[in-house]
């Protein structure tokens, strides 16, 4: 009869001694490795949501796209909703990071604003091999029924408005834009215009041309820059 007993650090099996447990060290998962896996999941989810929308996407789709296990997904995220929120946050965060890099070399407010608009248009369909801002359309579609999604969109808007506010206020301070400008109003209006152009991109389908979108956006910027040489206009009387 074969028996199993333990004596200190050794086990005896049918008269043969072997080490108790695996003598090799268990590899540690470093914080960098954890962050890399989490980022891999988010990027895969972003592609899936952009392709299938929130309703059509499943965790199984993310598993296939990421090449990771179901367990790995649920280790980092509680489910599809949390993963969706993080993937949308990723879109706005990467855009702000790229913007900061590009603006570093700009010397004037006009240059900085043109670079900002150009980056927005450039990242509508795709950005550095990932799904572009069109992925956010799924978020807008779900915002009425999902409070968490709505809060994420508000957070995105305020981040982008904050960046625009900073650029425009700096232009006012430097004398490149008029002192009478409603900085907050202009910042929010420009973001509304850009997000509207994002919707027009979807409406255009295969007829979409980024050059047309860029032209429309910069036409509004030209009007803003020209205002530097004008006096404050008379308020429009309400009907």
Share above pLDDT 70 across residues of the chain, in percent, rounded to a whole number: 87
Task: Give the lowest-confidence range in 3-12, 83-92, 228-237.
Answer: 3-12
- CATH fold label, 89-227: Tetracycline Repressor; domain 2 (1.10.357)
User: CB of 104 within 8 A of CB of 115?
Assistant: no
**pLDDT for 26:** 47
Residue 142 has a pLDDT of 87
d(CA 44, CA 87) in angstroms, rounded, equals 9
DSSP codes joined into one string, 140-208: HHHTTT-HHHHHHHHHHHHHHHHHHHHHHHHHHHTTSS-TT--HHHHHHHHHHHHHHHHHHHHHHGGG-
Nearest to 76 by CA among 64, 59, 61: 59
pLDDT at 10 over 60: no
Q: Please, which pLDDT band fits residue 237 given cuts at 50, 70 and 90?
A: low
Quick: pLDDT tens for 128-161.
888 899 888 888 988 888 888 899 999 999 999 9
Per-domain residue ranges for the chain? 89-227
Mean pLDDT score of the chain: 86
Tens-place pLDDT, residues 100-110 = 999 999 999 99
The predicted-structure confidence for 171-220, as pLDDT tens digits, reads as follows 999 999 999 999 999 999 999 999 999 999 999 999 999 999 999 999 99
First to last CA, the chain: 100
**Residue 8's pLDDT band (boundaries 50, 70, 90)?**
very low
pLDDT at 11 over 60: no
Pairing of strands 16-19, 126-127: unpaired
pLDDT at 239: 60
The answer to whether 53 and 138 have CB atoms below 8 angstroms apart is: yes
Q: What is the pLDDT of residue 115?
A: 96
pLDDT digits (tens, 9 = 90+) for 15-58: 444 444 555 554 567 888 889 999 999 999 999 998 888 889 99
């Amino acid at each position: 009869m074969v028996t199993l007993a333990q004596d200190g650090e050794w086990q005896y099996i049918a008269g043969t001694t072997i080490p108790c447990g695996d003598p090799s060290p268990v590899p540690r998962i470093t914080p960098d490795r954890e962050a890399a896996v989490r980022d891999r999941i988010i990027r895969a989810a972003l592609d899936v949501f952009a392709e299938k929308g929130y309703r059509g996407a499943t965790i199984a789709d993310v598993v296939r796209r990421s090449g990771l296990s179901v367990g790995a997904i649920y280790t980092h995220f509680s489910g599809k909703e949390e993963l969706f929120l993080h993937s949308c946050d990723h879109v706005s965060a990467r855009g702000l990071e790229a913007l900061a890099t590009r603006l570093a070399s700009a010397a004037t407010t006009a240059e900085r604003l043109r670079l900002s608009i150009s980056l927005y248009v450039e990242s509508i369909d795709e950005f550095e091999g990932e799904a572009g801002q069109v992925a956010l359309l799924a978020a807008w579609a779900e915002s009425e029924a999902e409070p968490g999604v709505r809060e994420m969109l508000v957070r995105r808007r305020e981040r982008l408005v904050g960046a625009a506010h900073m650029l425009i206020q700096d232009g006012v301070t430097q004398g490149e834009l008029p002192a009478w400008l409603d900085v907050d109003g202009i910042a929010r209006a420009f973001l509304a215009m850009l997000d509207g152009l994002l919707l027009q991109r979807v409406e255009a389908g295969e007829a979409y041309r980024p050059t047309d979108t860029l032209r429309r956006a910069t036409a509004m910027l030209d009007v803003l820059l020209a205002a530097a040489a004008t006096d404050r206009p008379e308020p429009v009387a309400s009907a």
